[in-house]
Amino acid sequence: MSYVADPSASDGEFNRDTDYITTRITADGRDGYAVEPGRYRLVVARACPWANRTIIVRRLLGLEDAISIGFCGPTHDERSWTFDLDPDGRDPVLGIHFLRDAYNKRIPDYPKGVTVPAIVDIPTGEVVTNDFAQITLDFSTEWTAYHRDGAPQLYPDPLRDEIDEVAQRIYTEVNNGVYRCGFAGSQQAYEKAYDRLFTALDWLSERLENQRYLVGDTITEADVRLFTTLARFDPVYHGHFKTNRSKLSEMPVLWAYARDLFQTPGFGDTTDFVQIKQHYYLVHTDINPTGVVPKGPDLSNWLSPHGREALGGRPFGDGTAPGPTREGERVPEAHSAG
């Protein structure tokens, strides 16, 4: 996750830096990094919506034994994400305090923002990729030999074109749309971004009114990509980013849809509301210079009945739900809903 406002944009519009390290880990190793259990470490921060996607997909597919995971703390400075949650502030596998060290191992004096998620090659200590959109697709398509029994098809071949189309609109208008509102440098840019965001949310409400999931009758990559933004909407985006036409809890279809996913193993149990609020309200000092983290909102309503079962659909298709979250990877109970 990085935030780059384009100073040359005369209208104050926010532009995201999308120049990622795009090396892929594949079954045939064509980029020099072959799929190999135990070789790679997924570095994430629970606060980050882009990283949260990878946590969800890794859990749904059962890749815990194949790809280890390291958690950064919820805050960072201009230099790097850090492993504040680990003893001595060092990742126990990589042995580093700053994620930037792994970036510099791959590209000396790495000139760009250090982002999560990132996958690190453990033997060399080098970042392989931080291309968050491709990482989850490759988990579904390149790591199939290490999926758990009963793993769902999150990117089924017959639906890929439609998933890609829906996911692209979600990315440009919703995932990135909230940032376009929050980091707008002018009233004009903000109002334009605001209108675009809620136009897309209205479109999603219409799409989901009579179908349980975004594409087909099972959970797919598209649902994962939308969920992480919806989960942050009321705790952060509504106030902090001024996306305040409506709270998520005031948009009936999307609110029920989000609760349906939240109550599905792999979604709510990977969502840390405390870290989410700490990240946005403490890191974005230009937006929130006091560093005050809001106490609300009440999150217990995430566990209320959603009624979406009436629309049919099978969350995991012919597969099964993942088992309990692994020890050491659980969100603290006080950080979740309930």
pTM value? 0.96
Is 81 marked as binding a ligand? yes
Domain-embedded: residue 134: no
Domain-embedded: residue 164: yes
CB atoms within 10 A of CB 19: 9
Residue 48 bears catalytic tag: yes
Residue 181 bears catalytic tag: no
Exactly one of 33, 179, 190, 257 is catalytic; which is it? 179
The percent helix, strand, coil of the chain (3-state, each to 5) is 40, 5, 50
CATH number at residue 172: 1.20.1050.10
Is the per-residue pLDDT at 269 higher than 70?
Answer: yes
Is the per-residue pLDDT at 9 higher than 80?
Answer: no
Contact 337, 263 (CB under 8 A): no
Domain-embedded: residue 140: no
Distance CA 274, CA 279 (A): 9
Q: How many domains does the chain have?
A: 1
Domain-embedded: residue 2: no
Query: Model confidence over 198-247: pLDDT tens digits?
Result: 999 999 999 999 999 999 999 999 999 999 999 999 999 999 999 999 99
Query: Model confidence over 22-81: pLDDT tens digits?
Result: 999 999 999 999 999 999 999 999 999 999 999 999 999 999 999 999 999 999 988 899
Domain-embedded: residue 88: no
Query: Model confidence over 292-338: pLDDT tens digits?
Result: 999 999 999 999 999 999 999 999 999 999 999 999 999 999 999 86
Domain-embedded: residue 115: no
Q: Domain span at residue 195?
A: 160-335
Here the tokens at position 154 are 């999150």
Distance CA 85, CA 71 (A): 7
User: Which residue in this structure is represented by tokens 């639906």?
Assistant: 159
Exactly one of 48, 155, 194, 237 is catalytic; which is it? 48
78-82, 143-147, 257-261: which has the minimum mean pLDDT? Answer: 78-82
